């Protein structure tokens, strides 16, 4: 499989993410049309693999999506998982915590949403907000959020040890691309409902967010819970990259329809 993502590791410079172009297409040299055609075939494969995963009831798959506002999380979910049987997939969206959630530890609400056997669960934002938005907006002291990297590593390792496959995607767009997408939400009436003035306030902290994402990725990238940094200015490449990674992962699992415990030929339906 061509490597259609960017790796950021301990050797990366502190401003590596600041310099990353969201328009890159690593591992792919074809045209948009070719990528979209490949994505269409990959979706068919994903639908079949998910059907087998659900029927087998053996594996659990957690897909974590993180991005800046307008980064394309909702669009990626719609386009990547289009056609999948709703029985076998759930999407969990983590907005600001409720009073009840705040009364518990910050991972309490997350743990309730992880996949059961046979399921794919997609986190639209996730437990990483507690080292991203929480950090940038000074919601807790530095000594508190810094400890959370270890919490997150241990939490994910526990899930892996209990049989969960974890794929974490950071969809990276440029500040200029975000500006265009925010403006489109004002200019296009059918997108007005998406506009939130809070996004403009968060945009002022772009550099702080880039450093927060970089640190989160470096601190929590693990062999069994890897991060994939996907340049996402070009939505067609974003979809192609995610589909390639997810399908390749499920192929390695090789889920199979369970064999019947009876002889189908010996049963007559009347």
CATH number for the domain spanning 168: value is 3.40.50.300
Q: Is the predicted pLDDT of residue 14 greater than 90, yes or no?
A: no
Confidence category of residue 19, pLDDT binned at 50, 70, 90: confident
CB within 8 Å of 154: residues ≥ 6 apart: none
* Mean predicted confidence (pLDDT) in 194-202: 88
Confidence category of residue 15, pLDDT binned at 50, 70, 90: low
Is 6 contained in some domain?
no
Q: How buried is residue 85: exposed, middle or buried, by Cβ count under 10 Å (0-12/13-18/19+)?
A: exposed
Query: What is the per-residue pLDDT for 16?
Result: 75
Which residues on neighbouring strands pair with residue 225, listed in sequence order?
Answer: 222
Query: What is the per-residue pLDDT for 82?
Result: 93
Is 270 contained in some domain?
no
Query: CA-CA distance, 14 to 258, in Å (whole number)?
Result: 49
User: How many domains does the chain divide into?
Assistant: 1
Is 262 contained in some domain?
no
Confidence category of residue 7, pLDDT binned at 50, 70, 90: confident
Query: What is the per-residue pLDDT for 79?
Result: 96
Centroid of chain to Cα 115 = 14
With beta carbons less than 8 A apart as the criterion, state whether 119 and 94 touch: no
Query: What is the per-residue pLDDT for 1?
Result: 58
Is 22 contained in some domain?
yes
Is 136 contained in some domain?
yes
- Supply 10's token pair: 């301990």
Query: What is the per-residue pLDDT for 260?
Result: 86
Is 5 contained in some domain?
no
Query: What is the per-residue pLDDT for 10?
Result: 57
* Mean predicted confidence (pLDDT) in 133-143: 96
User: What's the chain's Rg over C-alpha atoms?
Assistant: 20
Q: Is the predicted pLDDT of residue 176 greater than 60, yes or no?
A: yes
Which residues on neighbouring strands pair with residue 123, listed in sequence order?
Answer: 64, 92
Q: Roughly what angle, to the nearest 10 degrees, separates helices 73-80 and 32-56?
A: 70
With beta carbons less than 8 A apart as the criterion, state whether 135 and 145 touch: yes
Mean pLDDT for the chain?
A: 93
The H or E element containing residue 121 is: strand 120-124
Q: Roughly what angle, to the nearest 10 degrees, separates helices 148-161 and 206-220?
A: 50
Q: Say what percent of the chain tops pLDDT 70.
A: 97
CB within 8 Å of 33: residues ≥ 6 apart: none
Domain extent for 122: 16-253
Is 268 contained in some domain?
no
Confidence category of residue 33, pLDDT binned at 50, 70, 90: very high
Q: Is the predicted pLDDT of residue 17 greater than 80, yes or no?
A: no
Q: Is the predicted pLDDT of residue 11 greater than 60, yes or no?
A: no
């Amino acid at each position: 499989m061509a490597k259609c993502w960017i790796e950021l590791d301990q050797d990366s410079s502190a401003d590596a993410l600041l310099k990353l172009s969201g328009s890159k297409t690593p591992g792919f040299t074809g045209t948009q049309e070719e990528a979209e055609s490949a994505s269409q075939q990959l979706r068919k494969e994903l639908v079949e693999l998910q059907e087998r995963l659900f029927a087998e009831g053996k594996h659990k798959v957690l897909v974590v999506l993180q991005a800046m506002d307008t980064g394309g999380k909702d669009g990626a979910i719609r386009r990547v998982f289009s056609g999948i049987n709703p029985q076998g997939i759930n999407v969990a969206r983590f907005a600001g915590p409720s009073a009840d959630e705040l009364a518990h530890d910050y991972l309490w609400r997350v743990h309730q949403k992880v996949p059961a056997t046979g399921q794919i669960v997609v986190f639209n934002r996730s437990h990483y907000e507690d080292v991203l938005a929480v950090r940038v907006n000074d919601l807790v002291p530095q000594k508190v959020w810094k400890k959370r990297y270890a919490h997150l590593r241990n939490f994910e390792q526990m899930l892996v040890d209990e049989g969960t496959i974890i794929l974490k995607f950071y969809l990276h767009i440029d500040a200029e691309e975000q500006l265009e997408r925010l403006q489109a939400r004002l200019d296009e009436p059918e997108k007005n409902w998406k506009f939130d003035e809070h996004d403009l306030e968060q945009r002022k902290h772009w550099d702080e967010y880039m450093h927060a994402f970089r640190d989160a990725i470096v601190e929590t990238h693990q062999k069994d819970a890897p991060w994939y940094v996907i340049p996402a200015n070009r939505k067609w490449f974003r979809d192609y990259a995610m589909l390639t990674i997810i399908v390749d992962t499920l192929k390695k699992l090789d889920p199979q329809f369970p064999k019947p415990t009876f002889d189908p030929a010996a049963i007559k339906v009347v």
